[in-house]
A and B are shown apart, each in its own frame.
Chain A
Amino acid sequence: NAGVMQNPRHLVRRRGQEARLRCSPMKGHSHVYWYRQLPEEGLKFMVYLQKENIIDESGMPKERFSAEFPKEGPSILRIQQVVRGDSAAYFCASSPPPRSSYNEQFFGPGTRLTVL
């Protein structure tokens, strides 16, 4: 059973370009979380999605950032008009449908975005 997949693992963009980060959850998982890790910092929650629905986007910057998790295909985190401050590692985690008071999250290897 493959784990959470993220691609690309490394992404380089120039200021003003768009970045698209993909996350394929573990088989059977219908919930996805995105976290951002700035240099020398811990991970910060960005957004929580289930298929075709955003559940919690309280950690998303108000502009330029969007996320989706379509019925078919991976979850996408999209950053428009990137700036140098967007350089970070972006981690995706997936969890199964809720069955108890907490569902463990399984993390992918991350996408390291560098903005030149």
Chain B
Amino acid sequence: AQSVTQPDIHITVSEGASLELRCNYSYGATPYLFWYVQSPGQGLQLLLKYFSGDTLVQGIKGFEAEFKRSQSSFNLRKPSVHWSDAAEYFCAVVGSGTDKLIFGTGTRLQVFP
């Protein structure tokens, strides 16, 4: 069965520092992968997605992610974090059959000034 693991429950960084959020997936075929961001009390906003092609994907708000098949990973990165990036980040993979999304448990990002 497909699954997504986000090993880091909580990450704290200083504003201006670089960021990498880890995501590992389990899927038999080429996966469709996503990163979403959720601000407190809000819904989910799509940051970026990978379907095929170039393994380095650019998203909104200066985020990027790299698909590495050999490591079954799809880590999210940002070169310089802003205080407004503090939120919960979810990695997801599309399950087989009906397009339902399978989410990781999320990583909560805290940004210090």
Contact = CB atoms under 8 A, between A and B. Distances in A.
A42 B95 contact: no
Contacts of B102: 45
A28 to B, nearest CB: 17
B44 A56 contact: no
Contacts of A105: 99, 101
B42 interface: yes
Given A91-B43, A102-B94, A45 B100 contact: yes
A44 B103 contact: yes
A48 B101 contact: no
A104 B106 CA distance: 20
Contacts of A72: none
A67 B43 CA distance: 20
| Interface footprint category on A | 20 to 34
A108 B106 CA distance: 18
Nearest to B103: A42
Interface residues of B, number: 25
29 contacts: A33-B99, A33-B100, A33-B101, A35-B101, A41-B105, A41-B106, A42-B6, A42-B90, A42-B103, A42-B105, A43-B90, A43-B103, A44-B103, A45-B100, A48-B100, A56-B100, A59-B100, A91-B43, A91-B44, A93-B101, A101-B51, A102-B32, A102-B94, A107-B36, A107-B45, A109-B42, A109-B43, A110-B42, A112-B41
Interface of A: 33, 35, 41-45, 48, 55-56, 59, 91, 93, 95, 101-105, 107-110, 112
The 10 closest A-B pairs by CB, nearest first: A42-B103, A109-B43, A45-B100, A107-B44, A56-B98, A42-B105, A43-B103, A107-B43, A42-B106, A48-B98
